[in-house]
Amino acid sequence: MSAIEETVTEAAAVEAVPKKAMTLGYGTSLAVLVLLIAVPLLVKNFIIFQLTMLLIYAVAVLALNILTGGSGQFSLGQSAFYAVGAYTSAILMEHGGINYALTLPVAGVICFGFGFLFGQPALRLSGVYLALATFALATAMPQLLKLGAFEYWTGGVQGLVVTKPDAPFGLPMSQDMWLYYFTLAISLAIYIFSVNLLRSRSGRAFMAIRDNEIAASAMGIDVALYKTLAFGVSAGITGVAGGLGAIAVQFVAPDSYTIALAISLFLGMVVGGVGWLPGSIVGSAFIIFVPNIAEGISKGLSGAVFGVLLFLVIFLVPHGARQGAIVVQHLIGKLRGN
Amino acid sequence: MTATINKIAIASAAALAVLAASSSGALAQKKYDTGATDTEIKIGNIMPYSGPASAYGVIGKTEAAYFKKINDAGGINGRKINFISYDDGYSPPKTVEQARKLVESDEVLFVFNSLGTPPNSAIQKYMNSKKVPQLFVATGATKWNDPKNFPWTMGWQPNYQSEAQIYAKYILKNKPDAKIAVLYQNDDYGKDYLKGLKDGLGAKAASMIVAEESYETTEPSIDNHLVKLKATGADIFVDITTPKFAAQAIKKLSEIEWKPLHFLNNVAASVGSVIKPAGFENAQGIISAAYLKDVSDPQWANDPGMKEFLAFMAKDFPEGDKNDASVIVGYGVTQTLIQVLKQCGDNLTRENVMKQAASLKDFRTEMLLPGIKINTSATDFAPISQLQLQRFKGEKWELFGDVVSGDVGG
């Protein structure tokens, strides 16, 4: 291995996070959950829609967090997996007439397969090289979706309109509210699954690979298998998020899944704190709400304002929301001590 | 017993009817939906101020400048326009979020001139289910003229298919034995044009079109496509490209000495931003179709409509580029909207806004070519459906033939 390659991989390595620090305590988790359940009862449908998108992007950021924070691999291609999930759900619903809830596992499985296969060549790459390979995937995806060969299914450049589901069993709630709780239930299931995954044998294998690949393989971990597995799991979860996104937005089109989305998700992960799963929701909030705030400050310079805000975050809390949470924890501990 | 109840019911119904009649009489002049009051009309708008299509963001800025001018002059029927314009970065999920924000949080009366085919497709179903007008969308796709299925959505500019059909008609009439080569942009806009051309040629399309090439907007140059097309020996070239590529094509054609009859789509017919950079000598004889006056074309120098536009640019929108065709679109579409709002009078319900938008009769904004008029009806949601053919000669376009209309439904 050349010296240059070594430095590159080293620079890209993720700071080790002990597994206990990857989650919140039970009390805090419950408080957040109660908040997530209660808020929609008090706000307008538009806000509920935004909160639904918040959860969906949080799931996608979480998926990236498992890959990067867990197994130490980079991906700028999450938008491709998100797109595949979205299109799978949309095509099954509109062409196949299949119930929206049933399309999500299909989207997850297809994306898992896709991610697992993509993980095979990616094995030979690491650090920035892997990031570039996934970047290529993200750039190619919108054009693949436009291909004439698939046009009957994908709707080509015009995209596909998806029908929004009504609340089942005649429940007296709006479509938006139902979709929010539906999304919340799925996000919660995925969160619990992810936390358990990272605490399991496989999760320890991911982290061992992240911390030192050679040491991991010396311990008997099948590095190739676990690396591709991490890709598969991450892509599968992203696919479910994509499917949910398609249902919530009611529309899929190639322009929705450009490289900008992949970069947003990456940004969300960094802002939330790499390797800290609860940070995903904070990161998601950042990528949804901060552009709106930036636009409110200056329409012509919204991009620049967003850049300044991002810079401030990275400068002040380089470890993202995790750092914020630790500070708060210390403060509470001090107050209790007094 | 039941008889008494019936009598009471009838009596009270009659009383209610009288009451309703008298109250509606008193309120006949003023009727409002969410977003309109005695002093204000709230109008929503969504533009790509950032992202890949940000060049079009200037349309929103022109509109804001025009509404400001209207407000400074006292507003429309005494009401000020509150123009709320959001950025969607040309990303459909963001468009949905912004549209919902406008409708549910800002509570606008309607959404006006939202830009782009994918973004508008994303919100069309939502707007129609909410019964909020999606008025004069800024895209030339053909599907916006569909009042039966989407009675709350209306386009403005001539749609791409109508324009392509006009070229097809001309080709069939003047060069029925031609071999046609087509170059188009690989997206909804390019494909819409191509469909219009094929529909217009009808049964002869398959035999006349000898080559179709598509390019991606990300390609730096389209030279190789042109060389390929030349090799087919076609004698008509239909050029469905955006300004940057159109300028390349005009130049390259003369370099490789291919001299077909060149049809250039209206999207790229600007003298200032396409023909001049490509060289006047290379552009002689190109045929195009137009509906707006071109600022850089000297024949309009003394035209009153043009003078009014230039005065607006100088006084109210000095930071805008008057040679940018998007600015003229923004100017014209805003004038059309103001006509609609004037027609609405004091009945500012969403239903009436659509009704008035669908009853424009021979309306003209003076930046339209002479003879082109805006007409709509309950079954015709395509405001501008006329164009005129033009041929490039010397340093300007020369209009020829009559104003042609080509209504195509979505």
If you average pLDDT over residues B309-318, what whole number do you get? Answer: 95
- Render each residue's pLDDT in chain A as its tens digit; 338 residues: 344 444 444 434 455 555 555 667 777 888 888 989 988 888 888 899 999 999 999 999 999 999 998 888 888 999 999 999 999 999 999 888 889 999 999 999 999 999 998 888 777 877 778 888 889 999 888 888 887 677 788 877 778 888 888 778 777 888 889 999 999 999 999 999 999 999 899 999 999 998 988 899 899 988 888 988 999 999 999 999 999 999 999 899 888 898 889 999 999 999 988 888 888 999 999 999 988 888 888 777 777 888 888 888 888 888 888 888 888 878 887 877 65
Interchain CB distance below 8 Å, A158 and B121:
yes
Q: How confident is the model at residue B19 (pLDDT cuts 50, 70, 90)?
A: very low
User: Which whole-number Å values give the CA distances from B62 to B193, B224, B316, B322, B399, in the listed order?
Assistant: 27, 38, 9, 10, 27
Residue A126: what pLDDT? 73
Residue B104 has pLDDT above 70, yes or no: yes
Query: Nearest chain B Cα to A145, which residue?
Result: B187
Chain B residues close to A254, C-beta within 8 Å: 118
Interchain CB distance below 8 Å, B87 and A302:
yes
Chain A residues close to B319, C-beta within 8 Å: none
* pLDDT tens digit sequence for B354-390: 999 999 999 999 899 988 999 999 999 999 988 999 9
Q: What is the DSSP letter of A167?
A: P
For residue B34, give the 3-state DSSP assignment: coil
Interchain CB distance below 8 Å, A159 and B86:
no
Interchain CB distance below 8 Å, A249 and B96:
yes
Interchain CB distance below 8 Å, B49 and A300:
yes
CB A88 within 8 A of CB A236: no
Interchain CB distance below 8 Å, A258 and B91:
yes
Task: Report whether CATH 3.40.50.2300 matches the domain B40-158+302-379.
Answer: yes
Residue B405: what pLDDT? 79
Of B26-40, B151-165, B314-328, the least confident: B26-40
Residue B308 has pLDDT above 80, yes or no: yes
Assigned token pair, B127: 């707007």
Residue A107 CB contacts under 8 Å (≥ 6 apart), including other chains = A84, A85, A86, A88, A89, A239, A240, A242, A243
Residue B151: what pLDDT? 95
Chain A residues close to B103, C-beta within 8 Å: 46
Residue B327 has pLDDT above 60, yes or no: yes
Query: Nearest chain B Cα to A249, which residue?
Result: B93
* pLDDT tens digit sequence for B134-150: 999 998 888 899 999 99
Residue B271: what pLDDT? 83
DSSP string computed for B39-106: SEEEEEEEE-SSSTTGGGHHHHHHHHHHHHHHHHTT-BTTBEEEEEEEE-TT-HHHHHHHHHIIIIIS
Find the CB nearest A302 among B49, B121, B191: B49
Q: How confident is the model at residue B352 (pLDDT cuts 50, 70, 90)?
A: very high
Q: Is B118 in the A-facing interface, judged by CB distances under 8 Å?
A: yes
CB A231 within 8 A of CB A206: no
Q: Which long-range contacts (CB under 8 A, 24 or more apart) does A49-53 make?
A: A49/A176, A49/A248, A49/B97, A49/B100, A50/A288, A50/B97, A51/A180, A52/A176, A52/A179, A52/A180, A52/A183, A52/A248, A53/A245, A53/A248, A53/A249, A53/A288, A53/B93, A53/B97
The angle at the Cα of A61, spanning A246 to A267, to the nearest 5 degrees, equals 110
User: Which whole-number Å values give the CA distances from B55 to A253, A255, B190, B390, in the listed order?
Assistant: 21, 17, 18, 26
Q: Give the residue, A314 or B17, on which the prediction is more confident.
A: A314
Find the CB nearest A249 among B49, B86, B122: B122
Chain A residues close to B49, C-beta within 8 Å: 295, 299-300, 302
Amino acid making up residue B78: G
Amino acid making up residue B297: D
Distance CA A65, CA A48 (A): 25
Question: What ipTM was reported for this prediction?
Answer: 0.78
Residue A6: what pLDDT? 41
Distance CA A233, CA B78 (A): 61
Interchain CB distance below 8 Å, A253 and B105:
no
Q: What is the DSSP letter of A97?
A: -
Q: How far is B406 from chain A (nearest CA, A)?
A: 23
Q: How confident is the model at residue B1 (pLDDT cuts 50, 70, 90)?
A: very low
If you average pLDDT over residues B151-180, what whole number do you get? Answer: 92
Chain B residues close to A158, C-beta within 8 Å: 117-118, 121, 188
Query: Of the ranges A291-300, B26-35, B255-264, which is most confident?
Result: B255-264
Instruction: Select from B355, B339, B337, B338 the least CA-distant residue to B347.
Output: B355
* pLDDT tens digit sequence for B70-80: 999 999 999 99
Q: Give the residue, A121 or B172, on which the prediction is more confident.
A: B172
If you average pLDDT over residues B22-45, what whole number do you get? Answer: 77
Percent of the residues in chain B that have a pLDDT greater than 70, as a whole number: 92
Interchain CB distance below 8 Å, B90 and A159:
no
Interchain CB distance below 8 Å, B50 and A303:
yes
Q: Is B338 in the A-facing interface, judged by CB distances under 8 Å?
A: no
Residue B11: what pLDDT? 53
What's the 3-state SS for A308-330?
HHHHHHHHHCCCCHHHHHHHHHH
Q: In this complex, how many residue pairs, one in chain A and one in chain B, have their CB atoms less than 8 Å apart? A: 83
Query: Under CATH, domain B160-290+391-405 is a member of which superfamily?
Result: Response regulator (3.40.50.2300)
Phi-psi label, residue B33: left if phi above 0, alpha if psi -120 to 50, beta otherwise: beta
CB B291 within 8 A of CB B405: no
Distance CA B251, CA B244 (A): 11
Distance CA A283, CA A263 (A): 12
Q: How confident is the model at residue B223 (pLDDT cuts 50, 70, 90)?
A: very high
Interchain CB distance below 8 Å, A299 and B118:
no
Instruction: Tell which B residues from 5 to 44 touch A, by Cβ distance under 8 Å.
Output: none
Mutate to test the interface with A, among B58, B124, B149, B191 (most CBs of A within 10 A): B191
Interchain CB distance below 8 Å, A143 and B216:
yes
Residue A93 CB contacts under 8 Å (≥ 6 apart), including other chains = A99, A100, A103, A162, A163, A247
Chain A residues close to B86, C-beta within 8 Å: 295
Interchain CB distance below 8 Å, A255 and B86:
no
Chain B residues close to A299, C-beta within 8 Å: 49, 85, 87
DSSP β-ladder status, B31-32 and B40-47: unpaired
Find the CB nearest A256 among B93, B125, B187: B93
Find the CB nearest A46 among B100, B124, B188: B100
User: Which whole-number Å values give the CA distances from B242 to B216, B266, B385, in the listed order?
Assistant: 11, 9, 21
Chain A residues close to B92, C-beta within 8 Å: 159, 249, 251, 253, 255-256
Query: Nearest chain A Cα to B142, which residue?
Result: A158
What residues does B42 pair with on adjacent strands? B82
Query: Nearest chain A Cα to B187, which residue?
Result: A157
* pLDDT tens digit sequence for A151-180: 788 877 778 888 888 778 777 888 889 999
Chain B residues close to A245, C-beta within 8 Å: 93
Interchain CB distance below 8 Å, B50 and A161:
no
For residue B404, give the 3-state DSSP assignment: strand
Interchain CB distance below 8 Å, B91 and A45:
no
Q: Give the residue, A239 or B16, on which the prediction is more confident.
A: A239
Mean pLDDT of chain B: 88
Q: Give the residue, A21 or B54, on which the prediction is more confident.
A: B54
Of B55-59, B224-228, B245-249, B362-366, the least confident: B55-59
